[in-house]
Amino acid sequence: MPVSTLTDGRKAWQLRDRKAQLTRWFAYFAAVAVFMWCWKKISDSTTWFFVWDAPRIASDIGSRAFPPRWSYMEKLWEPLWDTLNMATLGTLLALVFAVPIAFLAARNTTPSAVFVRPVALLIIVSSRSINSLIWALLLVAIIGPGVLAGLLAIALRSIGFCAKLLYEAIEEIDHKQVEAVTATGANPLQVMAYGIVPQIMPAFAGVAVFRWDINIRESTVLGLVGAGGIGVQMQASLNTLAWPQVALILLVILLAVIVSEWVSAKVRGAII
């Protein structure tokens, strides 16, 4: 008890009593011990020669990469366009599936909490648990290399993300507005269109733009496994040790991400 009685009968108060305090100190001690042990493990399995050598190698690669090979840009426009398309169309495709799944998964709109909701949640979890790079690996094996595989990988990964955030938004709506629309004699579809959809529009717009922004970044690496986009050029340049080309590609990706950040901030500001 943090409250105790002093000898003169007054009450004393402290945040924790002695037992709680000792438990806390022991927990800190254990945490530090585990951290030290892990540090030792990692240190033992590291070839420290390479680490000490790292600055020299890095500056070597840096000097080879500079200046970027600007003329290579003419070969990057098309893959860059592909990358943007993969991200944008993948996001749109994901939203088409995510919206109905979100309505099936939200507690207050699902037709059946026992049968339908678990299926919807399973779809969300399986989509989210697999990284888009892994989806891309699988899809390149199934439908062959190219932009389509990348687009589908982006879409499959995004369905779960968008559906999860949307169904959370649906569960947080103000129920009174739904009640009011129901009381007019509206049918269930009308209740959805008037009572629920206006309430989740800001969340929908926010989720769509946020995911698009993430997908721009993700689609730049999908080419590494053959799923199209600027990552294919990246892979080729790395394999041939063409460092000036790698530098240019990194610059282009950086610019694309900055532009997408700017666009999504603008769109979010306009809607909310």
| From candidates 108, 182, 250, 268, binder to another protein by CB under 8 A | 182
Q: Looking at 57-65, 147-155, 196-204, 244-252, which segment touches another protein (CB under 8 A)?
A: 196-204
The 93-132 contact track toward another protein, x by CB under 8 A, reads: ----------------------------------------
Residue 142 sits in the site that holds another protein (CB under 8 A): no
What the block records as the tokens of 188 is 């269930």
Residue 120 CB, shortest distance to another protein, in Å, is 23
φ, ψ (nearest 5 deg) of residue 26: -65, -40
Q: What is the C-alpha separation between 264 and 272, in angstroms, rounded?
A: 12
Q: Looking at 13-21, 86-94, 155-163, 186-194, which segment touches another protein (CB under 8 A)?
A: 186-194
Residue 268 sits in the site that holds another protein (CB under 8 A): no
Tokens 């004393």, located at residue:
12
CB nearer another protein, residue 85 or residue 199: 199
CB nearer another protein, residue 55 or residue 185: 185
Q: What is the C-alpha separation between 241 and 69, in angstroms, rounded?
A: 13
User: What is the residue type of 44?
Assistant: D
Residue 199 CB, shortest distance to another protein, in Å, is 7
Residue 261 sits in the site that holds another protein (CB under 8 A): no
CB nearer another protein, residue 40 or residue 107: 107
| Cβ neighbours, 10 Å, residue 132 | 24
| From candidates 22, 31, 201, 254, binder to another protein by CB under 8 A | 201
What the block records as the tokens of 151 is 């687009």
Q: What is the CA radius of gyration of the chain?
A: 27
Residue 185 sits in the site that holds another protein (CB under 8 A): yes
Residue 198 sits in the site that holds another protein (CB under 8 A): yes
Residue 208 CB, shortest distance to another protein, in Å, is 17
Residue 199 sits in the site that holds another protein (CB under 8 A): yes
User: What is the residue type of 139?
Assistant: L
| From candidates 53, 60, 78, 179, binder to another protein by CB under 8 A | 179
Which residues contact another protein by CB under 8 A?
174, 176-177, 179-187, 189-190, 193-195, 198-199, 201-202
